[in-house]
Chain A
C-alpha cells in the first residue's frame, strides 16, 4: 500500500537536499470499464455506447494514448471520431507539466461524457505502479508505466481489447513484445471509418515528407545550453514580437539584470531564427558595434508554397544596406534568437494563399494576424478551402523549411461574409461567444419579475425622485441614471444610480462563473456579445425609463462650488423618468423654455460637472484623443452606409464626470473596508522613454513637451497649439495616447499604496463601479460595497487575495482583447464601406518613414500608409531626412502633422488583407501626385435609411 519517492534536489545555496515523499498505492481504484466484474460498482462509470471502428482491427477497442499523441494531436482528439479513451495519470501529469493550454483542452474533452474518456490514476494503483530504475530516463520510465497499465488492463478485463497509440517507434516495438496492440496515430486515423477530413487535422511532427533541402536556419541551442547561457548572463530570455510591417524584423522584450525592460531588435532569417509571435525565446545580444536601428522599410512576405529563400535573401540584403550609416544614437540593442524556451503557438484564423495550384496537397496558409508567418499545411480539399476562412495551427518549424508546418483545424465560412468575419474577429481575440448554456439560463429570475415587500424593506425607496438616464442613442443596456435636487440655496443632492446587477448574479452560480470568464461585453459594429444574458442586460438590470428597477445609489451632498460635503451609498429602488440620448439631454439643457424638474436638474448637473472637470484638469488629468468612428448600417442588408467620427456633446462629458466621481468615491469606501482585497484600477505612469516619439515630433514642430509628470504633460499639451493648423493639437493628443500604459484592475493587497495611482485621471484611487451590466469588475465592486453598507454578506473567494489576482488577470486580458476586437470590427466594416469607392480626402501626416508616410484621415478615423516608393526601391521623387524626419521633393517638404489631400481607394486584390491605397493629391508633385477628382466627395447618405450601427460604444481610456 505504500512506497516512498526519494528526490535529491539542489537548493539555491548550492547544498544538496534529500527530499522524501510518501506515495500511497491504492487497491480501490475503478478501472473505468462499465461491465467490469472485478471492480466495485461505481455509478459514475457510464457504459460505452460508441464503437471505435478502425479497419486495422476487426474488433471494438479502448484506446490508450501516450503523452506526445495528446500534445501534438489535440485538434484530432477534439473531433468526435475517437471515443472510449483511457487517459493515464502518468500521461495527464506530463501533459500538464509541458503544456497547460493543451491540458485544459484535454480536460474539456474528459468532461464531455459522450466521448467516454476515463482518467485512470495508474501511478496510484497498486498493480500498475512500477518504480523508476536508477538509471532510467524519465521518458523511458513513463513509457514503461504506460505499457504496464496496458498489460494490466489486458489481464484485468480479458474480454475487452486495448490499442495503444504512440508515434514512438521504439515504444511500439517494446509494446509489441508485450503483446499490446499498438499503432501510430497516422496509420490509425488513415484506417478509421469516415476518416475523410480527419486526416487533414493530423499534425506531422516528423515534418512533411518533402525532399529535404539544405538547412536555411541555424540550429537552436539545447535547453541545457540555454539555461547555462542565461545563468551566466550571456543570453537573455524574453517574449518575441514580430513587426507588423516588416516580416524580416521583430524584437524581444527582455529584462536586464537590474530589472529594467529592454527591447532587443532581431532582424532577418538568422536573427529571428524561426521565432513566432509570442514565443518565449533566448536571445544573444550583439556587440554595441553591430547594433542597428529599427528599419524604416515596409516588407511583405511574397513567398509561394514551394518557393525557397531567394526572396528572403534579397530583402535581407536590402535591410542590411545602410545599416552602418545609421546614426549612433538611433541604434538600439540588437541581437539574434538562439533558442526557443516556450512556443506560444495557438490556432490562427486566415485563408489559403490564392496563387499556385489549388488542388495541390501542400497549401500555404496566410494568417489574418500579420505578425504570424505563413504556414504550410497538407490538405486534400484545397479547392474548397480556398473559398473559406479557416483555422490552422502550427506543428513544427524544421530548419530546412522556409515556413512553419501545420495542419488544418476547421473552416469558419465563406471569405468576405460578414458573419464569417465576425467569427474571425471573435476567435482571433479569444472572445467567448457561445450561446449561454442551459445551466446559466437557469440562474435567471422567472418572469414576470415583481418587486416584493421584502425587497422594498431592504432598500431605500427613491421612486419619488426625478431620476433620468443619458446614454448614446439606441442603448438598451442602461446601467447608470442620475438625479440632482437643491437642498439649500447653496447645496445640492446629487445621486448616481447604477443597475443592481449583483442582486441577480449571485456568487458561485453558473451565471456568475460565465460572466467572470467573459469579463466584459464585446461590441462589434453589428453585433454585441453580452457578458450576461439578454433578460438581465436589456431588461431587468437596464434602468429603462418609467420602469421600477433596483439600483445601487451613490449620493453626495455637493455645494455650488462642486465641493463634496459628504457621500453615502445604499441599495435603492428607482423609477427613471426618462431614458434620454446625449443629444436630447443637450437640447433640453439648451432650451430655455423648458423648466420642468428634469431640465433643471440636468442644468445643475451640467454646471457642477463643468466645475468638477476644471478641478480635475487643474490636478493634472490628461485629455487624450483617439479617433473613434461610428458606422451607419443599412438596417436591412447590414451593409455599412456611412462612416463618421463620433459627435460629442457637452452632456457626454457631464455624465462622464459624475461616473468618475462615483468611481472615485466608491474606491475610497471599499479600500477602507477591505484593505487587502478591494478591486481597484490603476493606471501606471509610463516610462519616460515611451514618450520619445512624442517629444521628437513636438520638437520638430517647435513645441517643448514636458513629460516628467502627468501635470506637466497635460499643460504642455494644452500649450501646443498652432493657429494655422488646429488639428495639430488633436494629433499630439492621439500620439500621447499611444505612449500610455494600459490601465489595469488589481486587488489592493498586492501593491503598496503608492502604486494605486491613476495617471490619466490624476487621482490616487480609482475603480469601476458604474457599468456592472457590461463589466465584471463592477460586479465585484458592487459586492464589496454591498458588504460595506451591510446589505450583503461576503463569500470566500471575494476575500481571497490570490483568487482576486487571478480574476483581475483574466479581466485585464479580456478587456484588452475586447478593445482590439472592437477595432478590428470597425476596420472590417470601413473596408466594406469603401469597396468600389474612390474619394479624395483631407488627412494629416502622422509620421514619416523611409519609404512611406503614415497618414491619418480624421473623418473616418483611418490610419493608412502612403508609399512614396515602390517596394524595395528608394523614391525617385523624395529625399528622406532621418534627422529632421522629413521627406523632401524639390521645394516641397513633408513634415509630420502637415495637412495633405489623398485619394483613397480600397485594394481588394488580397482577399484577406484588403488595404487602403493612398495617392497624393495635394501638395501636387508633377509625375507623382494625381489631379483632384472633379466632384468633391461629399457624403450623401440617405438619412432616413440610417440606422445607428449599434447601441453603445464607450471609451475605455480610464
Chain B
C-alpha cells in the first residue's frame, strides 16, 4: 500500500486543497512588446509563457496557405530548468511535437480562422516550470496571448485535468506530486461557455462508471478557469484603457 493517499480522510489533498479546488492561477497579458500578443500564466507552480505573432503572410512555402482560412502554427517547448532535473530538450522531440499538435487542435476550435484567408498565426509556448498539468496551462496561456493579440475568438478555450483519488473520488487540477503518486489523469480542453469538449485525453484506464464524475469535474474546472481568465482580461483592458479613457465607456455598458 502506498503510504501517501491522494485524498486524506478529512478530504484534504497532499498540498492542502480539497478535491474540487483549483490551484492558484495568476496571469498577466502583454508581457512582451515584440510579439503581437503575449501572456504569462501560473497554475500552481506550473509556469508558462505564450507569444502570438500574426496574422501575417504565410511564411516558408506558400503551398501550406489555405484560401479560406488562416493556418495556425504551434510550437511547444520546455526550458532546460523547467523540471527538477536539468535536461537539454531538443526542439521537436516526440513529446513536444505531440503537445504542439494537441495545442493546434485546441486553438483551431476557438480561433475564427475563416476571417484571415491566406494568412498564418504563430503561437509559441514555453514552459518555465513544470509541476503537473503542463498542457492545460499551455492552452490557457495561449488563449490569453491570442486575446492580447486581438485575434477574434469564438469564445475562451480552457483546459483542465481531473483524476480519481482512491479509485473513488474525483479531484481537479492535478499537481505533479499527485501525478507521480498514481491515478488516472483525464485532460479536457473545452469551450466552457457552449460546454463543448474540444479535446480529451486519458493517461490510463479507469472504469467507465467513474467517467461522468471525473469528466464533470474537469469541465467545471474549465469553467472556473474561464471565469478567472475573464476577470484578468477585463482588468487588463481596463488598465490599458484607463490612459485613453476607454475604461469610462467600458463601465457605462
Contacts and interface: CB of A to CB of B under 8 A. Distances in A.
A97 interface: yes
Interface string A378-402: 0000000000000000000000000
B84 interface: yes
Interface stretch (B57-65, B203-211, B232-240, B244-252): B203-211
A2 B24 CA distance: 9
Contact of A22 (B1, B45, B167, B209): B45
Interface in A1-40: 1-2, 4, 9, 11, 15, 17-26
Interface in B1-49: 1, 3, 8-10, 12, 14-17, 23-24, 44-45
Contact of A19 (B84, B209, B210): B84
Given A22-B175, A97-B3, A121-B10, A795 B207 contact: yes
Contacts of B175: 21-22
A121 B12 contact: yes
A124 B16 contact: yes
A21 B17 CA distance: 13
A796 B167 contact: yes
Contacts of B17: 24
Contact of B45 (A4, A11, A100, A800): A4
Interface in A398-413: none
Interface string B160-179: 00000001000000010100
B207 A799 contact: yes
A797 B45 contact: no
A24 B15 contact: yes
A119 interface: yes
A21 B207 contact: no
A20 B131 contact: yes
Interface in A644-663: none
A123 B9 CA distance: 15
B171 to A, nearest CB: 14
A748 to B, nearest CB: 16
B207 A796 contact: yes
Given A121-B10, A796-B210, A11 B16 contact: no
B82 to A, nearest CB: 12
A806 interface: yes
A96 interface: yes
B93 interface: no
Nearest to B13: A24
Interface in B53-91: 84-85
Contacts of B15: 21-24
Interface residues of B, number: 25
Contacts of B84: 9, 17-19
Interface string B203-239: 0011101100000000000000000000000000000
Most buried by B among A24, A25, A89, A107: A24
Contact of A794 (B3, B23, B45, B207): B207
A505 to B, nearest CB: 19
Contacts of B131: 20, 22
Nearest to A508: B168
Contacts of B210: 796
Contacts of B205: 799
A713 B84 CA distance: 56
A189 B206 CA distance: 50
A803 interface: yes
A20 B45 contact: yes
B12 A124 contact: yes
A795 B17 CA distance: 29
B16 A796 contact: no
B177 A797 contact: no
Nearest to A1: B24
Contacts of B12: 121, 124
Interface footprint category on A: 20 to 34
B207 A23 contact: no
A107 B15 CA distance: 21
B54 to A, nearest CB: 35
Nearest to B177: A21
Most buried by B among A1, A19, A26, A796: A796
B16 A23 contact: yes
Contacts of B177: 21
Contacts of A1: 24
Contacts, number: 63
Given A23-B15, A806-B1, A796 B10 contact: no
A20 B12 CA distance: 19
Contacts of B24: 1-2, 22, 24
A186 to B, nearest CB: 30
B23 A796 contact: no
B3 A96 contact: yes
Most buried by A among B3, B16, B84, B206: B16
Contacts of B85: 11, 15, 17
Given A17-B85, A20-B45, A22-B23, A803 B1 contact: no
Contacts of A119: 9-10
A796 B209 contact: yes
Nearest to A11: B85
B199 to A, nearest CB: 25
A123 B206 CA distance: 32
A1 B175 CA distance: 17
B167 A797 contact: yes
A867 to B, nearest CB: 46
Contacts of B45: 4, 20-22
Contacts of B1: 100, 806
Interface string A103-139: 0000100100000000101011000000000000000
B173 to A, nearest CB: 11
Contacts of A107: 9
A67 to B, nearest CB: 15
Nearest to B24: A2
A294 to B, nearest CB: 35
Most buried by A among B84, B131, B210: B84
Interface in A290-329: none
A800 B207 CA distance: 8
Contacts of A100: 1, 3
Interface string A796-814: 1101100100100000000
Contacts of A2: 24
Interface in A748-800: 794-797, 799-800
A107 B8 CA distance: 12
A11 B206 CA distance: 31
Most buried by A among B23, B85, B177: B85
Contacts of A794: 207
B16 to A, nearest CB: 4
A300 B43 CA distance: 67
Interface string A75-113: 000000000000001000000110010000001001000
Contacts of B23: 22
A332 to B, nearest CB: 35
Given A121-B10, A796-B167, A26 B16 contact: yes
B149 to A, nearest CB: 31
Nearest to A801: B205
Given A2-B24, A17-B85, A806-B1, A24 B16 contact: yes
20 contacts: A17-B84, A17-B85, A20-B45, A21-B177, A22-B23, A22-B175, A24-B16, A24-B17, A89-B8, A96-B3, A97-B3, A107-B9, A119-B10, A121-B10, A124-B12, A795-B207, A796-B210, A799-B207, A803-B167, A806-B1
Interface of B: 1, 3, 8-10, 12, 14-17, 23-24, 44-45, 84-85, 131, 167, 175, 177, 205-207, 209-210
Given A4-B45, A21-B177, 18 more contacts: A17-B84, A18-B84, A21-B15, A22-B15, A22-B44, A23-B15, A26-B16, A89-B8, A100-B1, A107-B9, A121-B10, A124-B12, A124-B16, A795-B207, A795-B209, A796-B210, A799-B205, A800-B167
6 shortest interchain CB distances as A-B pairs: A796-B207, A24-B16, A124-B16, A17-B84, A22-B15, A19-B84
